[in-house]
Amino acid sequence: MDLYTIIKNNKHKLAEYERAFNPLWKKISDFGYYANNKLNYLKLEKFATPEIIDFLFMCIDEYNQTKRVWGEHHDERVLGIVWYVLAFSDEARINTYFESIVNENTQNINIFLKDFHDIGQKYKSKYFLYEKIQTYYDEKVIPHMASTKLCEKLNLQTPEDYYFSFIVSTDGEWIYTNYDTEEQRKNRYCLTVSVYGKNPRIYNESYEISFYNGTKNYDDKIKISFTDGQYIDKNSFLYGGKNCVSVPNLLDLASFIDELESHFNIKLDFENIAYISTVKGVKRKVINDWIKRRFVFV
């Protein structure tokens, strides 16, 4: 059973404290509300009363006893709200509960580390979580990320939290407009690459690659997408046909490009790069030169 339903079914047990809980329930019931917003989480402190803490902990305990399937009963948004309320408490049982989740996520599947990394930064009493997770990132994750290895090969210095992306297309353009004919959309192919690092995402992903055309006709539509990371399906996905290309490797994009151009009988325009975006601290020229070399390292 999802946490939302558990809370809904049990909130009457708060008895005389239910009235004080109702504003929090309103936030939980608002499916557009997320607790990790800076202003939102500060407003949750008033709900961290002993009675509400006990109630939420009871609901969490029931939730943890249910069999959950990803995407079916998993409710990260409501979990986040509950966690951000619980984090205002210094009770040992809450610290133990939080640490148990962090330990499980560093040893097995990494789903919630980003949540507790954020909580550890926002709450002084939970800074020990931030330190534990950051040490795990620094020692076990970041050195092995493809984005880290790419920056090393490019001799690219990066800030603490970096991101860059680019688009290469068959005609040097990337925006489709209402004035484009269906034939133009069908024959314009775009390769989009996004790279990020030093701030691992949910599955420790470090890059995303997409290859697509813009046709509205499903039979002619091509879309290949890939994300690296822990526990991600390593197959490439192709809509509008069968899987026809191998899994791309950020450190060997040159081979992937050769395969794309051969299979689809196209030529991507590397002289007129359609789009590049970098954050401050990432040298755009280094990225630009690497792309123009068709991803060959020097």
Provide the 3-class DSSP secondary structure of residue 277: strand
pLDDT of residue 247: 81
CB 82 within 8 Å of CB 97: no
pLDDT of residue 234: 45
Distances, alpha carbon 71 to alpha carbons 2, 74, 161, in Å: 10, 6, 29
Q: Which of 170, 197, 200 is nearest to 185 (CA)?
A: 170
pLDDT of residue 228: 84
Give this prediction's pTM.
0.81
Q: What are the DSSP calls for 197-225, one per residue?
A: ESS--TT---EEEEEEE--S-GGG--EEE
CB 254 within 8 Å of CB 236: no
Residue type, 6: I
User: ∠ CA(279), CA(283), CA(284), 5° rounding?
Assistant: 80
Question: What is the residue-level pLDDT of the chain in tens, covering all 298 positions?
Answer: 889 999 999 999 999 999 999 999 999 999 999 998 888 999 999 999 999 999 999 999 999 888 665 555 568 899 999 999 999 999 999 999 999 999 998 887 678 898 999 999 999 999 999 999 999 999 998 999 999 999 999 999 999 889 999 999 999 998 888 778 999 999 999 999 999 987 777 777 899 999 999 888 888 888 888 888 754 444 455 555 556 688 889 999 999 999 999 999 999 999 999 999 999 999 999 999 999 999 999 9
* Cα–chain center distance at 98: 21
**Strand boundaries in 92-241, DSSP class E:** 162-169, 189-197, 207-213, 223-227, 237-239
* Cα–chain center distance at 268: 28
CB 23 within 8 Å of CB 61: no
Distances, alpha carbon 135 to alpha carbons 77, 87, 131, 198, in Å: 26, 21, 6, 12
